[in-house]
Amino acid sequence: MSLTIQKVLLRAAELRVSSDSWQIDTELLLAEAMMTRREYLRTWPEREVDPAALQIFETLFARRVRGEPLAYILGRKDFWDFQLQINSHVLIPRPETELLVESALNLVGMQGAKAEQLVDLGTGSGAIAIALARELPGCKVLAVDRSADALALASNNAARLGAANIRFQAGCWCEGLTPHSADMIVTNPPYVAINDAHLQQGDLRFEPTMALVAPDAGLGDIRTIIEQSRTVLRNSGWLLLEHGYLQGSEVRDLLAQWGYRKVESKQDLAGHDRVTLGQWVTLGQWVSG
């Protein structure tokens, strides 16, 4: 027996996908299976769903019921003003990370920070690097990641989105980078403690552990980046780090301990410290103000 779009959605609704947006998720999965847009489903609810499309939908829907993130199932995720290809080798870009991009652009546009050479450490899908490269076409962006799979995906995303001013390099944080070569370093490193209960909840269960978890209560990689970045940044260069919503004070302290100036945190829409930044000024050249 054939089923209409409306009946398929109603039947799926009875299972209640484990998501706050289960209805949207279901519509997106059915649209994917039918190779159409979500708006089509709402415009033509009485149209029948082809048996082949229904079978594809049931397979996709079963994955979502098991808790697999929608971005991994669809293979894409919106970020900034573009859409990225996504797979399970990289973290799923989150809205909070757009604050990191905004903070970098504010330094350039409002505070006149130099941006000839930017570095994105742990680029993953390339979200941050691509956003900055597109917004600052005159700059050169170096995107670094230790995962070959992540670099391949990020490179494909950059090519597809026309971000030709990005160069990709394999590496672990600042190791192997040219000294005094960057005006700005941005990073969304692992910052979750290995015993954090959130790792057993929601999307985190499916995301790559090495992109999530850091030693020393989640601060190990942040500490390494803060220390290493001093040799890569040019005089008056900036380091911007995304971190956990309870880590702002500790990250500010680390930046201050390693000699960074003008340290401050930026808050996300929930009012939590989410991005912390500091300026590296070569000893003897710091001018208060």
What value does the mean pLDDT of the chain take? Answer: 94
Does the global pTM surpass 0.85?
Answer: yes
Model confidence at 106: pLDDT above 70: yes
Mean local confidence (pLDDT), 7-27:
79
Range of weakest confidence among 14-23, 97-106, 116-125, 182-191:
14-23
Beta strands in the chain (DSSP E): 3-4, 48-49, 76-79, 82-85, 117-121, 140-145, 166-170, 182-187, 233-242, 261-267, 273-280
Strand, helix or coil for residue 16: coil
Q: What is the pLDDT of residue 126?
A: 99
Domains of the chain: 3-67 (1.10.8), 77-280 (3.40.50.150)
Q: What is the pLDDT of residue 288?
A: 43
Q: What is the pLDDT of residue 18?
A: 56
Mean local confidence (pLDDT), 265-274:
97
Q: What is the pLDDT of residue 287?
A: 46
Model confidence at 185: pLDDT above 60: yes
Q: What is the pLDDT of residues 42-95, one digit of tens each?
A: 999 999 999 999 999 999 999 998 889 999 999 999 999 999 999 999 999 999
Q: What percent of the chain has pLDDT over 90?
A: 87
Strand partners of residue 279: 238, 261
Q: What is the DSSP string of 26-47?
A: HHHHHHHHHTS-HHHHHH-TTS
